């Protein structure tokens, strides 16, 4: 290890001179070579962390994994390092490099912007050099995706004066910018906004509340933020005991291809005198009410409710097992959505159009569909 670090230090002069010509180099080398050079440059930070703490150890682990080409392992190491050191410009910079290399341009820009912000807060020579590099990274990423900095109007976290607070989760469905969530997520809110997995926020407005089943339908105010690859409801879904369903862990959206949790239907009609709610053998994390449930084909078959939220709505469910949850059936969600009045300019989508939308891969959720999974924030 010492010899490895010494070799990195010996290349410092070469890398420093290389950085001086970085802009012209960008025009000559392909993106893969550029990213290798960036990883090597960031390696100088790894070589200098003699007094290693948990974040530093994880950073160095991620660095070595990235050198070995183990991108997903490196990303996970860096993400764990961020939990211990969320203001580390170098960690954000390294994540931006890996996401860009793997084709996750939006997430790359997210981390490059945060790296830029944290580099600016420092006044050391290394930060100044890396700041110049990350600015060039952003130029390249914006150009590649056809975006501008104005498309990313977000900060790493809401400031105190914003008075925004996390309130729950939800999901976009279809191409019109409509989203479902639990009514408990937006209770008494004066303002609502959604936060996408890349950190970007967009205002939303409440369209309608359904008191009995505690469902809220919202709409994005900015239609330009509608997903290019929308989720879609399953056509004529069946809800049979033992059928598999899949739920997203919203706390894991930043990971590459985040996995879904698998459960089974326990009771087809879990509420007396109602065929709209089914019960699962899947324990959901607190705050996950309002997320979508999928069938094997990756189509939406329900809106998930944690056991606690379901019990608030249906008091007689108190005797149910801890490892269970509930869901509002998609057949009902689809009906109440279709009954909403439509904007004249919104147009109508036919059932045929909806059926053409591909479902997500429940074993490997692609970045194109992650945009549909949102967190909600409210302001009192």
Domain 2-147 matching CATH 1.10.10.60: the answer reads no
pLDDT tens-digit readout, 276-323: 999 999 888 888 899 999 999 999 999 999 888 887 777 666 556 778
pLDDT value, residue 217: 96
The pTM score is 0.57
Closest to 341 in 3D by CA, of 219, 158, 259? 219
Contacts of 158 (CB under 8 A, 6+ apart): 164, 165, 377
pLDDT value, residue 40: 43
Residue 211 to residue 213: CA distance in whole angstroms:
6
Report, at the CATH architecture level, how domain 167-380 is classified.
Answer: Beta Barrel (2.40)
Sequence ranges of the chain with CATH classification 2.40.10.120: 167-380
3-state secondary structure 303-357: EEECHHHHHHHCHHHHHCCCCCEEEEEHHHHHHHHHCCCCCCCCCCCCHHHHHHC
Closest to 278 in 3D by CA, of 335, 233, 317, 252? 317
Sequence ranges of the chain with CATH classification 1.25.40.10: 2-147
Strands 178-182 and 277-280: unpaired
pLDDT tens-digit readout, 15-58: 333 333 333 333 333 444 445 445 444 544 444 443 456 778 88
Buried b (16+ CB within 10 A) or exposed e, 156-191: eebeeeeebeebbbbbbbbbbbbbbbbbbbbeebee
pLDDT value, residue 153: 53
């Amino acid at each position: 290890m010492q010899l490895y670090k010494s070799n990195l230090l010996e290349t410092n002069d070469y890398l420093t001179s290389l950085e001086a010509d970085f802009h012209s180099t960008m025009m000559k080398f392909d993106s893969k070579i550029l990213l290798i050079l960036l990883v090597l440059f960031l390696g100088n930070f790894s070589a200098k962390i003699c007094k290693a703490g948990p974040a530093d150890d994880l950073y160095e682990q991620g660095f070595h994994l990235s050198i070995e080409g183990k991108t997903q392992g490196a990303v996970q190491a860096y993400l764990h390092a961020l939990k211990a050191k969320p203001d580390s410009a170098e960690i954000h910079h390294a994540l931006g490099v890996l996401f860009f290399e793997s084709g996750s341009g939006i997430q790359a820009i997210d981390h490059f912007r945060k790296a830029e912000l944290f580099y600016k807060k420092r006044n050391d020579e290394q930060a100044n050099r890396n700041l110049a590099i990350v600015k060039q990274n952003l130029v390249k990423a914006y150009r590649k995706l056809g975006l501008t900095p104005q498309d990313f109007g977000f900060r790493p976290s809401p400031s105190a004066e914003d008075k925004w607070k996390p309130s729950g989760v939800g999901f976009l469905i279809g191409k019109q910018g409509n989203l479902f969530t639990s009514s408990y997520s937006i209770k008494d809110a004066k303002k609502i906004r959604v936060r996408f997995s890349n950190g970007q926020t967009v205002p939303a407005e409440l369209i309608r509340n359904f008191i009995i089943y505690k469902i809220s339908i919202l709409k994005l105010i900015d239609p330009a933020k509608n997903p290019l690859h929308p989720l879609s409801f399953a056509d004529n879904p069946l809800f049979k005991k033992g059928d598999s369903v899949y739920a997203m862990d919203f706390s894991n959206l930043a990971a590459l291809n985040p996995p879904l949790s698998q459960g089974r239907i326990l009771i087809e009609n879990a509420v007396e005198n109602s065929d709209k709610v089914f019960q699962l053998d899947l324990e959901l994390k607190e705050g996950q009410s309002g997320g979508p449930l999928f069938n094997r084909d990756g189509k939406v078959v329900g809106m998930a409710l944690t056991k606690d939220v379901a019990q608030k709505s249906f008091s007689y469910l108190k005797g149910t097992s801890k490892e269970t949850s509930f869901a509002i059936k998609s057949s009902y969600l689809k009906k109440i959505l279709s009954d909403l009045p439509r904007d004249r300019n919104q147009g109508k989508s036919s059932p045929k159009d909806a059926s053409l939308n591909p479902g997500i891969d429940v074993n490997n959720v692609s970045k194109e569909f992650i945009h549909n999974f949102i967190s909600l924030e409210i302001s009192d």
